[in-house]
A and B are shown apart, each in its own frame.
Chain A
Amino acid sequence: MTTTARTPGPLSRLLPGRSRPQGRTAGAVRRPLWQTIVLTILVIASLLVFLVPIYWLFSGAVKSNSDIYSWPLKWFPTSLHLENFRAAWTAAPFDRFLVNSVITTSVGTALEMFNAILCAYAFAFVHFRIKRFLFLFLIGSMMLPGHVTLIVNYITVGNLGWLNTYQGLILPGIGSAFAMFLLYQQMRTIDPEILQAAEVDGAGHLRRMVLIVVPMSWPMILTATLIVLVGKWNEYVWPLIVTSTASMRTLPIGLLFLRSQEGYTNWGALLAGTVIAAAPMLLLFFLAQRRIIGGMAAGALK
């Protein structure tokens, strides 16, 4: 299973605000020119593998259908055809999808992070007998695949009368294991003397948490928030089964219904819808790349 680190060690280079050490691997020392050229060609080839599909998505979203359905294929749109976005918007209630995605993602993320912060603080700083067992119990929930809990969660939410509601979409996902784990790791690196000093000054646990631990953990809280947020925005199977009315669907599910509705005859609109669902996450990633990658790597690296 996951292994953990006492110190940020290998992560430090990924975390913001630190200079990146010049990493060198075996064989990187003084390379002949022809090798550099071969390697660069390989790098560019692999770049194309990832870049071309992404380009193809965005360029397709602004191509007219005559550009899309043409052969030989057109690499560049002949004109910016923003009609596609309007077509997607009229074919399906994309404004609702967008609003629903924003609401479920933001509220769900806030609740999960609330859980994560309280829980991480408790495990890091508050005395309890069977702490170790409880910690493993919570972390162990990561081993339970979502498809195993799907059916019973659907029944539970149905019994509560929460199908097609925001609480039904949001609440089953607010339990936190990964974010809690990341925050716990971070909080344990805080110097206990600071907290002891605060305690001597009469600050209780809640004040210590809010005024000292949370501000000191802020970078990691932000990282964890981003990771949780991306996961919630991209959530697919749960919104699919728990919503049956168009007005409650989120963007990823909206895409599925846009596809069944438009078939393959209106790719322009389908791709525009796809861009609406994908662009916010891409933007977020480009803005906070290092933070997101660093947080995800934190789960993997020791």
Chain B
Amino acid sequence: MSSSAAVPATTAGRSAVLSPPAPTAPDAGETGADAGRAASRPPLRRRPMSPVRRRRLIRESLLFCVLILPNLAAILVFSYWPAIYNIVLSFMDWDLVAPMPEWVGLENYIDLFTDPEFWSVMLNTLVFTTVTVVGSLVGGVLLGTLLATKVPFTGMVRTFAFAPHMLPGAAVGMLWLFMFDPSFGLSRFLFNLVGMDSPQWTTTSDWSLAAVTVAYLWQRLGFVTVIYYTAILDLPKDILEAASLDGAHGVKMLRHMVLPLLSPITFFLSVTGVIAAAQAFDLISILTNGGPGISSSTLSWMIYEEAFQKFDIGKASSAATVLLVLLLVLTFMQVRFGEKKVNYAS
């Protein structure tokens, strides 16, 4: 297939027009809002299908169902159903032990929104997500640009920067716990270099969220860097050369040419970055357990704690619903906002 036009995912399904080996591919004009049976209703303004053809289409459709069934079933049962039933549970009161959850209406949400701890957790989540997403984007584009200069050792940086992204979060958490140790860790060494004592990273509420943020950034930065690096190498050289002839260099070039051209990537990385950061859990679990107090609790930690340590399913599922709604709204906004910016491609 030679068309190099990049097509948004929403049209990916158009393959229906091209690929099926079925003799009459239904055209894209047909609305998907059909009532089921593929071939039971002859398409308008077309020769009626021969029985052989029709039987064949039915056979194809059956085969399709069989092929996608295992995957569809898994995703329905373990992704969509839980997301929906979680909303139902958020109107219930339950401790996982009582035989039946009890309907309490909006009570969980009222409890949640009037709980000052919830708002501290939301603030932590906001700070953590913003710092890690913005930090990894800024760091990633700078480092990616640096790597693209092809000076010595850039290949090694690429490898070792990406490596943390491959490690279990639990292992990264342990590693940083060790480095944060104020008595024997690298942290003491570094702070001593500038004549200071190492902060008690994981055990004081002033520093605990910073500890989680630093470890998370270290794990994510390499991934963002390598994606940017790959994209930078792929920028249209003729345009950049023209700009360079027109006198754009260095920072000017970066700001007016490279960054706008990279905006689709930035868009993708910020959407996935927010979703990933909102679920950062393993590092918190290993480094701080959300504490001291709730100083490093984020929404994802709170969901876990309420559900599986305090067994307050109602509160946990209402917090999870808040997370779901926030992410959906945010993604929707990013898509709307992103559409305007992401028009530079080819």
Task: Give A residues with C-beta under 8 Å from B.
Answer: 1-7, 9-10, 13-14, 23-29, 31, 36, 39-40, 42-44, 46-47, 49-54, 56-57, 60, 68-73, 114-116, 118-119, 121-136, 138-139, 141, 143-156, 171-177, 180, 184, 188-189, 192, 195-196, 199, 205, 230, 233-234, 236-237, 240-241, 251-253, 255-256, 259, 264, 267, 270-271, 273-274, 277-278, 281-282, 284-286, 289, 292-293, 296-297, 300-302
Contact = CB atoms under 8 A, between A and B. Distances in A.
Do most interface residues of chain B lie in helix, strand or loop, or is the interface mixed? helix
A264 B240 contact: no
A210 to B, nearest CB: 12
Contacts, number: 416
Identify the interface centre among A9, A50, A149, A240: most chain B CB within 10 Å of its CB.
A50
A136 to B, nearest CB: 7
Given A125-B21, A293-B162, A278 B178 contact: no
A47 B153 contact: yes
A68 B179 CA distance: 11
B71 A119 contact: yes
Interface residues of B, number: 142
Task: List 5 tightest A-B contacts by C-beta distance, closest first.
Answer: A132-B13, A23-B233, A175-B74, A152-B82, A149-B82
Contacts of A14: 230
27 contacts: A5-B6, A5-B7, A10-B234, A13-B234, A14-B230, A24-B150, A26-B235, A26-B257, A28-B148, A39-B151, A56-B175, A121-B67, A128-B38, A129-B32, A130-B32, A131-B15, A134-B68, A147-B299, A148-B86, A175-B79, A236-B281, A256-B286, A274-B171, A277-B168, A278-B171, A282-B166, A285-B163
A147 B13 contact: no
A252 B80 contact: no
B199 interface: no
Interface string B100-123: 000000000000000000000000
Interface of B: 1-10, 12-16, 18-22, 25-26, 30, 32, 34, 38, 57, 60-61, 63-65, 67-68, 70-72, 74-75, 77-83, 85-86, 89, 96, 143, 145-154, 156-157, 159-164, 166-171, 173-179, 181, 183-184, 186, 188-189, 218, 222-223, 226-227, 230-235, 237, 240-241, 243-244, 248-250, 253, 257-258, 264-265, 268-269, 271-272, 275, 278-279, 281-282, 285-286, 299-300, 303-304, 307-308, 313, 316-317, 320-321, 323-324, 327-328, 331, 335, 342, 345
A219 B145 CA distance: 29
B2 A57 contact: no
A151 B281 contact: no
Contacts of A51: 160
Contacts of A253: 170
A253 B174 CA distance: 12
Given A127-B64, A128-B61, A138-B75, A281 B230 contact: no
A73 B185 CA distance: 8
